[in-house]
Amino acid sequence: MDFSSLQKRFSELYPSSGEGLVSAFAPGRVNLIGEHTDYNNGYVLPCAISTGTWLLARKNDDDLLRFASLNFTETVEIPIKNAAEKSRVNWVNYPLGVINQLIAAGLKLSGLDLLFFGNIPNSAGLSSSASIEVVTATLLNHVFGLDINKVDIVKLSQKAENEFIGVNCGIMDQFAVTINQKNHALFLNCRTLGYELVPLKLDGYRIVILNTGKKRQLAESKYNERVAECARAVQYLNTIKPISSLGELTFQEFVGFRHIIPDITIRKRAHHVVSENQRVLDAVNALKNNNLRLFGSLMNASHNSLRYNYEVTGDELDTIVDAARNVDGVLGARMTGAGFGGCAVSIVEEQNVAAFIEKVGERYSRKTGLTPEFYVTETNNGAQIVQD
């Protein structure tokens, strides 16, 4: 949908709105490498992508928050004094949670008419929730002159999801959606929140996201299970080295200490996390040296570890990744996100993208009976005001 169509729809929904219209955009994100390391205080390497969430808004004089989305049929109207109360309409709680955080921090807001539109596939692991949170925070920061820096936008957006929505997500998604820059990936230390923008030169290659068509039905329960297993690994390792998270260990240290973990399953979980941290470090060096082939091989190794050590892939992701790896011009492919459905990501030679989509789609459908979707995407800037 083009921007003029969004403006027209806004005028139809809110014909009597007051002050000038403001709009903002926040991208989605894909994690290139570094999976299930964020909640272990490790390293991640996501990038923002071309799909995302648009928000058009205008102040009103009614002290009302009016929510509408072109992606959903429900509209909601809430007195701003009641912003601390959750809505019965689930999607509204993501922007409402951000508004609640701002008010709780003592910042003065007034009524707003809001219209959202997003083209990030739901339940695909491309961070539609962080996108809607961050676009809300970015626009309100501008409209009300709140003078909130980008890192604080990241933190309050994550806090909204943790406390208002009740999802115990890490901080990677909000960071990438807010801070990434085009032609870069975001190298983030989840323990210190130190970050670096790493040049991502894809000369002759494209990022292709492969949606399995399988919703991540087991992801939440298995996520909680893996968090508990990593905590047990830390307990074992604490008998040799005091640590609070697996992200504090180097791979070399883990190799020397792993015999302390008697449970083979727990040892495999820890092995994935610590080795994945090392792969992220190696991947950053590969990008700095413009070595995409090495980067692709690290993506492959990441998926293998997620499949055999962390056991969070599932038949659909393994099938689509195996199919992708067997097409000419593919440097690497791996699952991305929590696992058990959702998406994989691959680096594909640009001239082979059409053949890649055809061959992978045919092989995957034949083996699973599902129809995949493919998104040929680009890196993108983080959230920004589009029009004031």
What are 67-70's contacts with CB under 8 Å, separation 24+?
A: 67/92, 67/95, 67/96, 67/114, 67/116, 68/13, 68/114, 68/115, 68/116, 69/115, 69/116, 69/117, 69/118, 70/1, 70/6, 70/9, 70/115, 70/116, 70/117
| Max CA distance (Å), the chain | 69
Active-site annotation holder among 63, 113, 173, 328: 173
User: How many Cα neighbours within 13 Å face the side chain of 234?
Assistant: 18
Query: ∠ CA 91-382-375 to the nearest 5 degrees?
Result: 70
The answer to whether 276 touches 304, Cβ cutoff 8 Å, is no
Give me the phi and psi of 119, to 5 degrees please.
Answer: -120, 30
61 assigned to active site = no
Which residues partner with 195 through β-bridges? 188
Of 382, 325, 378, 363, nearest to 205 by C-alpha is: 378
**Catalytic site positions:** 173
